[in-house]
């Protein structure tokens, strides 16, 4: 098949690379010339500057100029193409709706070219990145407006998680195709022939609108599930004595119907998809005049979760942030990425600055440049001058009054020792990811430990506490720094 992938970001580039692995002739097109020039080098460094996914650079290097071609000139590759995948970014607007500007620009541009083509064989136009329900139909009307002949529209949503884009494209759990005609279904079966009749992969053929809805349902349900653990499980273990979070998780998820994924309590789920998709679905349902109470509650719970530990620090640990120095460990929305979109760290910084901290000493193994460039740039807000960046966690901790752990980087599991050798109590550790397994040693040494999904453990009282891990709430904890 001759396939054109429009847009070469996180969705488009891995998709193009994996399609080329199956011997299709794939043209990856983007309007961003710098990006295309970087991909054309076939060099890992250049590619990873734009999309950093395990296995991606190898896949591109293997297939470039054999099955995979990069271009900024779509007019040149339209002729004879069977399928076009739209992998265009659709950022959220302030009201939660989806900004379709880039998508519509690309659609009109392509429609103009398709209307002039000589070869009138069937083309299928497929939406791959997440777009509001009804967008396939919108695409159909754009094509019709330009007088394009012999085309079909389809929706084929991606379900990729960051860090797993290549493996996820090679072995998806399902392939969802929404199209109107048997002819278009047939063309897409040829694109995905390796997945049709696969013993493990669900190959679902449905309507374009159902396929679009499947994507929104999937992402919002995942966020709902995470929010159940954060909003109910974590609350129980924080508020009631002697409930062990890890055991709660094991006991509940032992039921085969209940997923272990999503049961890791955290300071809120971030990333480019969950927040954007739930807001968009709320907007779409509201416009359709339907109730969105559940979705709204999930969204609110997740957003509140991002600053909840700070509220707890004030109310439970009686910690005053005013003029304090806080070490912020982890900036990205999850480990192994530098992506900070919707990251809890953004809300944490906002909240810390609003509470008058003197300084924030930040550390992240990957995301420091991203933070400097796009988020905490002092040109955007003079208060960001209070943020300094450090090469190690230890350096960030040095001289601080408290720690906030925001990302689940594995290296944070060893923090107990670093903390004890770097700072002295009174000192507060806010653990938004439950990253310190040996927190009891910290408490014994006099540090106050406040985890998501657990009660405040007061340093001074730790000696007196009994029970496994010393993890038991006392009736009236008195944190050391409050004395």
Least separation in angstroms between residue 441's CB and ligand UDX is 26
CA distance 83 to 154: 10
Q: Is 266 in the site for ligand UDX (CB under 6 A)?
A: yes
User: Which range touches ligand UDX (CB under 6 A), out of 106-114, 175-183, 262-270, 359-367?
Assistant: 262-270
Contacting range for ligand UDX; rule: CB under 6 A; set: 72-80, 266-274, 462-470, 475-483: 266-274
**340 sits near ligand UDX (criterion: CB under 6 A):** no
> CA-CA distance, 368 to 373, in Å (whole number)?
9
Q: Which residues contact 367 (CB under 8 A, 6 or more apart)?
A: 331, 332, 337, 338, 339, 340
Instruction: Tell me whether the omega of the peptide bond preceding residue 426 falls within 30 degrees of 0, making it cis.
Output: yes
Selected from 192, 333, 412, 439, the binder of ligand UDX by CB under 6 A is 333
**Interatomic CA distance for residues 3 and 222, integer angstroms:** 32
For position 35 contacting ligand UDX by CB under 6 A, the verdict is no
In the list 1, 47, 273, 428, the residue contacting ligand UDX (rule: CB under 6 A) is 273
Stretch that binds ligand UDX, among 24-32, 157-165, 169-177, 346-354 (CB under 6 A): 157-165
Least Cβ distance, residue 161 to ligand UDX (angstroms): 4
CB 124 within 8 A of CB 143: no
Question: According to the binding rule CB under 6 A, does residue 233 interact with ligand UDX?
Answer: no
CB-based contact 12:160 (threshold 8 Å): no
Q: Which of 477, 122, 422, 25 is nearest to 414 (CA)?
A: 422
Does the footprint of ligand UDX cover residue 129 (CB under 6 A)? Answer: no
Q: Which is nearer to ligand UDX, 48 or 463 (CB)?
A: 48
Listed in order, strand segments (DSSP E) in 384-459 are 387-389, 402-405, 428-431, 448-451
CB 357 within 8 A of CB 321: yes
Residues 274, 319, 375, 447: which binds ligand UDX (CB under 6 A)?
274
Euclidean distance between CA atoms 442 and 444, whole angstroms: 5
Binding flag, residue 161, ligand UDX (CB under 6 A): yes
Beta strands (DSSP E) in 217-294 are none
Q: In the block, which residue shows the tokens 């480019």? A: 272
Q: Exactly one of 60, 273, 326, 403 is catalytic; name it.
A: 273
Of the candidate residues 262, 275, 432, 477, the single one contacting ligand UDX (CB under 6 A): 262
Q: How far is CA 187 from the centre of its chain?
A: 32
Beta strands in 25-74, from DSSP E residues, in sequence order: 25-29, 68-71
List, in order, residues 6 or more apart from 246 with CB less than 8 Å away: none
Binding region for ligand UDX (CB under 6 A) out of 185-193, 218-226, 241-249, 306-314: 218-226
Is 273 annotated as catalytic? Answer: yes
Can you tell me which of 24, 324, 334, 434 binds ligand UDX, judged by CB under 6 A?
334
Order of strands across the sheet that contains 359-363: 387-389, 359-363, 325-329, 402-405, 428-431, 448-451
Binding residues for ligand UDX restricted to 80-119, rule: CB under 6 A: none
Single residue of 8, 59, 129, 162 touching ligand UDX by CB under 6 A:
162
- Closer Cβ to ligand UDX, 114 or 452, answer by number: 452
269 lies in the site for ligand UDX, by CB under 6 A: yes
| Listed ranges 15-23, 153-161, 173-181, 418-426: which one lies at the site for ligand UDX (CB under 6 A) | 153-161
Pick 120 or 161: Cβ nearer ligand UDX: 161
* Number of residues near ligand UDX (by CB under 6 A): 20
CA nearest neighbour of 150 among 119, 120, 180, 125: 120
Pick from 228, 264, 304, 384: which binds ligand UDX (CB under 6 A)? Answer: 264
Q: Which residues bind ligand UDX (CB under 6 A)?
A: 159-162, 219, 222, 226, 261-264, 266, 269-271, 273-274, 333-334, 408
Active-site annotation, residues: 273
């Amino acid at each position: 098949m001759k396939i054109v992938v429009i847009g070469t970001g996180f969705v488009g580039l891995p998709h193009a690379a994996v399609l080329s692995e199956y011997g299709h002739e794939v043209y990856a097109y983007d309007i961003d010339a710098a990006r295309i020039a970087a991909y054309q080098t076939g060099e890992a460094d250049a590619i990873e500057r734009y999309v950093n996914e395990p296995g991606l650079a190898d896949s591109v290097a293997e297939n470039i100029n054999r099955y995979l071609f990069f271009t900024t000139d779509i007019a040149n590759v339209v002729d004879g193409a069977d399928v076009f995948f739209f992998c265009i970014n659709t950022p959220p607007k302030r009201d939660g709706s989806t900004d379709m500007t880039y998508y519509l620009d690309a659609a009109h541009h392509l429609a103009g070219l398709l209307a002039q083509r000589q070869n009138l064989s069937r083309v299928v136009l497929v939406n791959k990145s997440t777009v509001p329900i009804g967008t396939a139909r919108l695409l159909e009307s754009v094509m019709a407006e330009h007088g394009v002949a012999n085309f079909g529209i389809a929706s084929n949503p991606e379900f990729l998680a960051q860090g797993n884009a290549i493996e996820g494209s090679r072995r998806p759990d399902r392939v969802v195709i929404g199209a109107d005609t048997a002819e278009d279904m047939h063309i897409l079966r040829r694109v995905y022939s390796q997945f049709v009749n696969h013993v493990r992969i669900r190959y679902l053929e449905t309507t374009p609108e159902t396929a679009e809805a499947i994507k929104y349902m999937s992402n919002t349900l995942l966020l709902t599930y995470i929010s159940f653990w954060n909003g109910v499980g974590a609350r129980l273990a924080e508020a009631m004595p002697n409930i062990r979070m890890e055991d709660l998780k094991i006991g509940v998820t032992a039921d085969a119907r209940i997923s272990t994924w999503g049961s890791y309590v955290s300071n809120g789920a971030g990333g480019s998809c969950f927040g954007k998709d739930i807001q968009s679905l709320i907007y779409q349902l509201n416009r359709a005049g339907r109730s969105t109470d559940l979705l709204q509650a999930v969204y609110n719970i997740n957003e509140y979760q991002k600053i909840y530990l700070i509220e707890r620090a004030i109310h439970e640990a009686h910690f005053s942030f005013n003029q304090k120095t806080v070490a912020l460990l982890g900036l990205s929305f999850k480990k192994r990425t530098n992506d900070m979109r919707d990251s809890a760290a953004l809300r944490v910084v906002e909240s810390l600055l609003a509470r008058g901290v003197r300084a924030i000493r930040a550390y992240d193994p990957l995301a420091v440049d991203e933070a400097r460039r796009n988020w905490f740039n002092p040109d955007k807000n003079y208060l960001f001058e209070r943020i300094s960046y450090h090469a190690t966690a230890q350096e960030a901790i040095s001289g601080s009054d408290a720690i906030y752990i925001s990302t689940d980087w594995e290296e944070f599991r060893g923090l107990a020792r670093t903390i004890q050798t770097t700072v002295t109590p009174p000192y507060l550790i806010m653990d938004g990811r439950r990253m310190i397994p040996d927190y009891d040693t910290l408490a014994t040494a006099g540090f106050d430990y406040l985890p998501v999904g657990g009660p405040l453990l007061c340093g001074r009282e730790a000696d007196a506490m009994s029970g496994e891990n010393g993890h038991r709430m006392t009736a009236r904890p008195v944190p050391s720094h409050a004395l």
